[in-house]
Structure 1
């Protein structure tokens, strides 16, 4: 099942929420369902800065919908600081809500040449400077560290959750039903995986999940998930296997047996 949004990490610790639908109300609802106070991932974020990106929808933004999405982000412990849209007219809605526009070279304008001439030429540089100032206030540029690995050598019980933020996760014992393991990187389970496993949690579509006994309640990579209601193939269920996203742009989970 494909979500209506995707959250990615940039080279700086600023998140990007990529809206895959023009219905920002739907995005807000799904966001609260997945990361809101009543969800299993209520403390997933730590007030991270986030850029709202609706440029792929190529649809003008409704100010109220954008406001509701911003409130949903705040409720999910995310701080909206900037916006990227597909139309220059989106700037008015974003700026009125206290957001700045992401660098204009990353935004594909669909206005006419006549409309473009109406915009003051100095506006481009002003907006770029504001974006840089906001990023400086939120984060400091530092060299990217090597990806660490969190190793867990005890079983994950029902109701227990482990999150490897910015890291790979290695588990040397069973993940029981009702248990949940989450990582921004890959997940390796050298034991039965019977609970929930979510790799690439911050949007890393290259992340993978490995287990010597794959029997999950839920499996997810970069927000694309599958539950036990949709049984795995006999050659995968309970066997050594890996899970990854297809590289054809269709965001489909692929389950592949691991053979020696």
Structure 2
């Protein structure tokens, strides 16, 4: 397993977070986590985004959506066995039960945000985590944000401020 960076300091009112054991996707026939970068495409830039692809229906098992060059918003469930892939950020306004791969072309600033976290796989810029066991109660089926911190995926619960 790759070495993990130490946890970032937590603020007293910080939401629960988990350090995810992550791996880096390697090129080759078995690396299917993210589509290969197009040699003719401009490099991914965290400051700009092409189009935002909005999906207004639930995604069923076996469906794959790729937002090339931009962000992806899914307004509904991503079922187990479904895949959402974006060169930018991924927003899922519903349960995320399938696979979510943001920053598919190397954008290390990409994020995954969901209103209900219960994924099979999470990946940002080729760093991925397969979720084989249930997440802690502070994260499971809760609103969450996933970011890349070096070579480590950080999963943080989002809390309502009322």
Place the TM-score, normalised by the shorter chain, in its bin. Answer: 0.7 to 0.9
Q: CA deviation at 1:151?
A: 0.1
Q: CA deviation at 1:34?
A: 1.4
Query: Structure 2 vs 1, CA of residues 45 and 252 (structure 1 numbering), >3 Å: closer, same or farther?
Result: closer
| Greater fraction of residues in strand | 2
Which residue of structure 2 aligns with residue 234 of structure 1? 137
Aligned length: 135
Equivalent of residue 91 in structure 2, options 178, 188, 192: 188
Q: Which segments of 5 or more consecutive residues in structure 1 lack a partner in the other structure?
A: 6-29, 50-137
| 1:259 correspondence with 2:162 | no
Greater relative contact order (Cα < 8 A, sep 6+) = 2
Query: Structure 2 vs 1, CA of residues 34 and 235 (structure 1 numbering), >3 Å: closer, same or farther?
Result: same
Equivalent of residue 31 in structure 1, options 28, 47, 71: 28
Residue pairs, 1:1-260, within 5 angstroms: 1-3=22-24, 5=26, 30-35=27-32, 44-45=35-36, 48-49=38-39, 146-246=49-149, 249=150, 251-260=151-160
Which residue of structure 2 aligns with residue 124 of structure 1? none
Structure number with bigger Rg: 1
Superposed CA RMSD: 2.3
The answer to whether the Cα contact below 8 Å between 2:100 and 2:122 also exists between their aligned partners in 1 is: yes
- TM-score (normalised: structure 1): 0.48
Q: Which segments of 5 or more consecutive residues in structure 2 lack a partner in the other structure?
A: 1-21
The answer to whether the Cα contact below 8 Å between 2:104 and 2:126 also exists between their aligned partners in 1 is: yes
Deviation per residue, 1:226-253 (Å, 9 max, x gap)? 112143221001000110011xx3x101
Instruction: Give the Cα–Cα distance (whole angstroms) in 2 for the partners of residues 183 and 161 of structure 1.
Output: 11
